[in-house]
Chain A
């Protein structure tokens, strides 16, 4: 099968999930994931879920305050979530370890701060398995 149909390729919409393993400040990979997510949506594809794991949970830390001349990925994820009603899921065990807590978890663990950004949900690793089972493609962003 030819890779090109003339100059353009006919592309049927697909269901994608993304797994993000890196903090926004640590490397380029979370920013790449955001760019890729935007390109997916622009191409008419569906994002079934974006799963934040390991240091990737820092993408949902709403009290992180990056310098003004650096990208604010947390706000950008939130804006994209609102616009496209994305399912942004943060691994609960990875988040607890790194101090990213929802109101409910902060209360349960008797911590003074809840800092999970709006638009993100805490859930277990089962949600990554579910994403793999229900998506046609899983792309991992790490390092």
Chain B
């Protein structure tokens, strides 16, 4: 199972879009840095079956209300980020 890490905003970059093209069942999606802006993007609504994680430090730094995020999104800290990386292989970063 792949962990996809998206670090760019879907409002300014293709990264999330490209990632979703290659995402398959069982994969997980982690939003970091400007990638957390995806919480406000409709693209996440279509991902009912995918586990989605969002790094709390980065969403807080941007003043995003995680309470209004879709229920499927789990807000995580750095320790859990490390743990996700042990649970998944490979780990693919999307930043273009």
Contact B83–A36 (Cβ < 8 Å): no
Question: Which chain B residue shows the least CB distance to A16?
Answer: B85
Interface string of B59-96 (1 = CB under 8 A from A): 00000000000000000001101110111011101011
Contact B81–A9 (Cβ < 8 Å): no
Question: Which chain B residue shows the least CB distance to A136?
Answer: B89
Q: Is the interface of B mostly helix, strand, loop or mixed?
A: helix
Partner of B78, one of A16, A35, A142: A35
User: Does B38 make an interface contact (CB < 8 A)?
Assistant: no
Question: What interface size band does chain B fall in?
Answer: 20 to 34
- Can you list 26 contacts pairing A with B, beta carbon distance less than 8 Å? A9-B83, A11-B86, A12-B86, A28-B7, A38-B78, A39-B78, A39-B79, A39-B82, A42-B79, A43-B79, A43-B82, A45-B82, A136-B89, A137-B85, A137-B89, A137-B90, A138-B90, A139-B85, A139-B91, A139-B93, A140-B91, A141-B93, A143-B7, A143-B8, A143-B15, A143-B95
Binding site for A on B (CB under 8 A): 5, 7-8, 15, 32-34, 57-58, 78-79, 81-83, 85-87, 89-91, 93, 95-96
